[in-house]
Every structure is written in structure tokens, then in C-alpha cells.
Structure 1
Amino acid sequence: MNLHNLTLRKLQCFVKTVELGSITHAAESLCIAQPALSLNIKQLEDALGVALLIRHARGVDVTPAGELLYSRVSSLFELLEVTVKDVSSLGRSAERFFSLGMPSSLVLLVGTDAVLSAKKLLPRLAFSLREDPSFALVDAVENRELDVALAYDASERPGVWLTSMVQEDVLFVTHPDMHDGRDAISLDEVLGFNFVFGGRRDVGRCLMERVAHERGRTLNIVYQMRSIAGIREIVLRGMAATVMPYGAVASELGSGRLTARRIVDPRLIQTMSVVRSTKSMEVFAEFEPAIMDYLSALAALIVERQNGLARLIP
């Protein structure tokens, strides 16, 4: 295989197509002609000797090989972006850099406050905020691409430390036409709906697949999208339901465009944890009290903005 065939442009075309689930939409997003984008992906598949996408009338699905490539290349792009920013910043300043990662739901809920309060509570550190799914953030901490992450339902790994901060009710999110007026719904009822979810490592999807398996049920996933906005749009159109953290749909819930119910019988909860690596804890040892005060204040704000659907863990 000739590595020169794996250009950044070809990989960018592939990643954008996977994220949007459509060659047409990816071409529009990248401002290139659809045939040119298709050719880039075909050349990438030829160079690797394996099919990456399955084309169909609704768009594209990812093959197992494509899933692996997407995961690895997304991490490479994130690392490249962080590297460019860090190198550029290093040329302007000798400040210490501190990076925090959050999933999209928390960025929507408290992202701006996280940046502003870092300036106040961590004045000796140059701060950056990264947005990614929880599983990607944990990987980034483990690979030392991130100093700290706030992530849902993370599991401990060698060299990675977790501090559980917040428990949240798992929310079943639907179009208002699918709502029956109750503020809670049983798990058995939930498993009777059609769903839209992200990829195989999506936190909500993993949770629902696990509880469905425990009950000998099948989770009916009819749409897959690696985009919070895309998933919301499917639900807004009444085409499927989903499970999302409150922050991901707070605006739509407030306007009445979407509705949410707690899942009970059994009650489902998810845990948000601070994720740090041993190396990060060593590097920032002198800032430890300030960093923990900053993270504790963020956790309190996250709970405050969820209207009784979240609780601090003592």
C-alpha cells in the first residue's frame, strides 16, 4: 500500500461522509462536487483494499473496516488540531497549557461558563476546551492528548483515574406527538419504540443495548448518525426516539419542540466523572486545589441547570 494515497483530503472526505451519513451532504459541507468526493472515497478504498462504506437510498452505512478507520482518523485529526494550536500558542507565550474535554451535551449546557470561569479560577493556566463524545474524550486522556475530561459512564483503565461527580436521570426523548402526558415511562415501554443513535460506542446506545439484552429484547435502531444535531433533527421530525443527556436537548425541551421522560422500572441513571491521567496529575500537581475547585464549580452548575434531573455525588 502506498501511504501517499492516504492524503488528508481523502481522509477528510471520508470522515465528513461518515459524520453526516450522506455523500451529498458531505460534499455540500466541504464545498466540493459530489463526484469528486465519491472519487476520493473510492481511491481511499482502493488504496486500503477494503470497502469502507455501504451505499443505499438513504445515504451510507459504515463497514467494520470503515468504523475502525473513522475512529483512528478522527483521533488523528483532533491531535493535529490540538498540535497546531499548541505550537502556535507556544510561539506567543510561555504559559502553562491546560486542556479540558466535554461531550456536546455539556458544552451546550455550560461550555461558555467553563471557558469564562477558567480565566477567573485558573489565571496562571492557558485554557482550551475540546468537544467530543465521552468515549473519545477518555481515549484522549489516556493518550495524553487531553489533561482532563468530563465524561459519562467512563470506566477505569491503567493510568486513568475517575472521580464521580454527578448522577443524572436518563431521559427518553421524543416528538411531542409521542408523549402521553406522564413525566416517567417504564423501560419495557421504552424498548417498544424505534430509535436513532450515534455509533457503536455512543453512551446512550451502549446503555440501552445492555439493558435490552438483559431483558431478552432487541433495541430497534432504525437510524444512526454521528451528530447530536442530526439525531435531534430525526427526533424533531417524529421519525424515531432517542436517549440523550438533558443538555443536548435543553433548548428544544424549553420551547416544547421535544419532550422528555425519565426512564423507570428500573430507574436508569448515568454518571458524569472527571477523567484524569496519572501523568496529568503529576504535571499539574501545584495547581491541584485550583483545578479541583474549578471542576467542582462546573459540576454544581451542571446540576443547577438540569431542573432537578441531576444530583451531585457526595
Structure 2
Amino acid sequence: MKRNITLRHFRCFVAVANTGSFTLAASQLFLTQSSLTATIRQFEDAVGVKLFDRNTRRVAMTPEAARFKAEAERILSQFDGALSDLESLSQGRQGHVRIAVVASVTNYFLGDAIAAFRQSYPRITFSLHDAGSALVEKMIVNGDIDFAISTPHHGYDELVYTPLFADRYGVICDAMHAYARGARPLKWSDLDPAEYVGFTEDTGIGAHLREHAGKAGFFEQQHDEVSRTSSLHAVLRGGGRYSILPALAASSIVPPLAPGAAPGPFVFRELGSPRLAREVCLITRRLRSLSAGSELFLQYMRDVIRDKPVPAGVKVLGRRDGKARRDA
């Protein structure tokens, strides 16, 4: 059966669903009430589902309509956003980029990429979302953001995960902690689970460590937890605790020492036996093109990640012999 459903049907449905009134919805849409009613009836006939229960006092969504409402709003939002980007770019390279970036990438790469990008595209604006990797994946699936640079969590079939770099884990602790002493890599067997400060399960680091911890029963004992790398500073500052972080994430707390500089209050030591690394990926929606602005900014992000020197323990894909590779 051919279904002649248009965005007009979606807009009318969402307006009635949000206002609970054909009169108010018609006013918002600059339509006559009879025209709006006819459009909703066309929609119901086309899909074979009743969308609203009507009486003299109120209009209520049916259960089927209530389940469909979020999807209809998402489709309209994506269409309006894409059209707005296209029109703005054609009129002066304007647009809006919606992204989520893992905290370590934000601290180390994102600022450089935005600064370079604004030199060429000053009218393109950003929405930067700070969320755990589990929520980030859902935001891409729902169309709330254009892309993310994060760690895989659930691994949705409708998402594409393109690896950008690998990041080795190590132990971070106060400089007075016992784990701060020594030159050899620490072993998982050296670590006391009772002193560990972990990451919550909704974060990429937390999920990855729980799945790949190199010590049996490591997460069975109760321990402190945080959901952001920025919170570690306060928890570790009191001493007696340590955490396990990828090298790039640790660099925001333990920056590389300049020649002749005094050591800082925290120490980061490589963790081995077994050695463990995370993979940070570009995450996009399968079979869905990015907006023009997002495509432009993503290229700047790739360039910065490819070209900027990185801390020991970070391996950027596409580099050769430790140097940045430039495309011919």
C-alpha cells in the first residue's frame, strides 16, 4: 500500500501531541482547525493506527502515538538541523556542530582543533556534550549529536566505530604513595583493590577495566568510584589511594615534565603483566551522512590528532616511525 506521508503530517502530529489541543496546535501551525483535523485523519488512515482519543474536553494520545512521538520529534529535528546547516553554509559558511568527545581528547586535542577551525569558519558554532560512553552511543543513535570521539561501550550495530588511537593504561597516585616509587612497570598483582579509585560502569574506562582487568576478583571488593577524570584530583589528593587511567587521560593530571622541572604532586606509572590499552574511536551513525559543518570540523580534529605530539603510551593510527603522516 502506498503511503503518502510527508513532514506536514509529522509536524501536525507533534503539535497536537504537545499541546493536547487541535485549536492550539492549529494556531501554532497557522492552519485552520479543519485543515489540521483532515491532516491527522490522513495520517491515521495511512498508517492504520488511531493516534488521538478525542472528546469535548481534551485530546489524548493513544498508546501507539505516545510510543511514536519521540521518534517523530527526532526525525523533524534532524531534518530541520540538516536543512539549516545546508542553507547557512550556502549563505556564508555558517552551521552548528553537535559532538561528544571523551574528556582526555577534550583536554588534549579539542581546543587546538576548535582554534584552528575558527580561523577559517568563524560562523560555525558548537554544542559540546560531556557524558559517559554509554549515554554517548544512545545520543548518536537518537540523532542528538552528529558524532563522537569516545570509547566503544555497547557496540550498537547501527553505529560505525573507526579507531583513531590506542592508549595504554597505567597507575596514577600521589607522589608519596608506595606505588609512586620504582622505575619498573607495576604489575596487576602489585595492586591492592581496597585502595583503588575506579570509574563507574557507564563510563568507557569503567566498562573496559571491568571486562579486561588483569587480576581476578579485582572489582569484587567495595571501592571508591568517580564518573569524571576531573574528580580524581580531589580523591587522590588526600593520599592512600590510586587509580588506573589511560596515558592520555592521565596527562591532564600528570603533565609531561619539562627538562629540569620539579616533579608534580602526582605520579603516573606504566601498568603491565598484562599490559592493557583502550581504543578511542570516531563513532558515527551507519548509513547517515554528517552535516556539512560536522564534516569540516571532523577533518580538523583528525589533523590535530594526527599531527600533535602525544604522551608516551599513546599510539595514533596513521603515524609512521613515530612521526605524523601527511596524506599525499
Interval of TM-score (by shorter of Structure 1 and Structure 2):
0.5 to 0.7
Match of 2:101 in 1: 102
CA contact (8 A) 1:135 1:151 kept: no
Match of 2:127 in 1: 128
CA contact (8 A) 1:232 1:249 kept: no
State the shift of 1:161 in Å.
Answer: 0.7
Secondary structure at 2:200 match in 1 = coil
Match of 2:148 in 1: 149
State the shift of 1:121 in Å.
Answer: 5.8
Match of 1:173 in 2: 172
The number of equivalent residue pairs is: 224
State the shift of 1:301 in Å.
Answer: 5.0
Secondary structure at 1:244 match in 2 = strand
Does residue 284 of the first structure (1) align with residue 288 of the second (2)?
A: no
Matches of 1:222 and 1:286, distance apart in 2: 43
Does residue 244 of the first structure (1) align with residue 245 of the second (2)?
A: yes
| 2:306 alignment partner AA | A
Give deviations 1:121-177, integer Å, cap 9, x for gaps. Answer: 656743333233333222211221110111024453122111101011112111112
Does residue 218 of the first structure (1) align with residue 218 of the second (2)?
A: yes
| Normalised TM-score (structure 1) | 0.61
Matches of 1:313 and 1:251, distance apart in 2: 21
> Which structure features the higher share of helix residues?
1
Instruction: Say if 1:229 and 1:293 are closer, same or farther in 2 by CA, change over 3 A.
Output: closer
Matches of 2:153 and 2:274, distance apart in 1: 21
| 1:305 alignment partner AA | V
Instruction: Say if 1:249 and 1:152 are closer, same or farther in 2 by CA, change over 3 A.
Output: same
Instruction: Say if 1:98 and 1:146 are closer, same or farther in 2 by CA, change over 3 A.
Output: same
Does residue 299 of the first structure (1) align with residue 305 of the second (2)?
A: yes
Match of 1:27 in 2: none
Structure 1 segment 1-314 matched on structure 2, within 5 A = 94=88, 95-120=94-119, 125-154=124-153, 156-178=155-177, 179-190=180-191, 192=193, 194-212=195-213, 215-219=215-219, 220-254=221-255, 256-278=264-286, 281-284=288-291, 288=295, 290-300=296-306, 304-306=309-311, 308-314=312-318
State the shift of 1:207 in Å.
Answer: 2.7
| Normalised TM-score (structure 2) | 0.58
Unmatched segments (≥5 aa) in structure 1: 1-82
Instruction: Say if 1:142 and 1:118 are closer, same or farther in 2 by CA, change over 3 A.
Output: farther
Secondary structure at 2:125 match in 1 = strand
State the shift of 1:298 in Å.
Answer: 3.0
Q: Which protein is bigger by CA-based radius of gyration? A: 2
CA contact (8 A) 1:169 1:268 kept: yes
Matches of 1:112 and 1:99, distance apart in 2: 15
Instruction: Say if 1:174 and 1:233 are closer, same or farther in 2 by CA, change over 3 A.
Output: same
Give deviations 1:66-110, integer Å, cap 9, x for gaps. Answer: xxxxxxxxxxxxxxxxx9xx99xx7xx943322221122222222
Secondary structure at 1:262 match in 2 = strand
| 2:223 alignment partner AA | V
Unmatched segments (≥5 aa) in structure 2: 1-76, 89-93, 256-262, 319-328
Matches of 2:184 and 2:314, distance apart in 1: 15
Secondary structure at 1:256 match in 2 = coil
